[in-house]
Amino acid sequence: MLPDSQMLLQLVKMEMPFGRYKGTLICNLPVSYLEWFNRKGFPDGKLGGLLQTIYEIKLNGLEDILGPIRKMNQSQ
């Protein structure tokens, strides 16, 4: 199964809309914050899906897949 390219793009473009890390790109959130959400429950909807996705990416050491997407986003 291929990752949803739109979701990966949103991980490097969308900022956290609330909380301690408000304004931080989703892809730059610290693992400790994502672990807290994993314990307490991710928000519903699109944001929750993005947070769960970046949590799994970071948990499994797959952050390198975001490198080309970050570069593409910076050149736009």
Residue 71 has what pLDDT?
84
User: Would you call 25 helix, strand, or coil by DSSP?
Assistant: strand
**Is the model's pLDDT at 65 over the cut of 80?**
yes
Residue 1 has what pLDDT?
37
**Is the model's pLDDT at 75 over the cut of 80?**
no
2-58 pLDDT, tens digit per residue, is: 457 788 999 999 999 999 999 999 999 999 999 999 999 999 999 999 999 999 999
Q: Which residue has the higher pLDDT, 55 or 71?
A: 55
User: Would you call 15 helix, strand, or coil by DSSP?
Assistant: strand
pTM for this entry? 0.88
In whole angstroms, give the CA distance from residue 28 to residue 51: 11
In whole angstroms, give the CA distance from residue 69 to residue 36: 26
Residue 73 has what pLDDT?
75
Tell which residue, 62, 19, 13, has the closest CA to residue 43.
Answer: 19
In whole angstroms, give the CA distance from residue 66 to residue 62: 8
Which two tokens mark 8? Answer: 């990966």
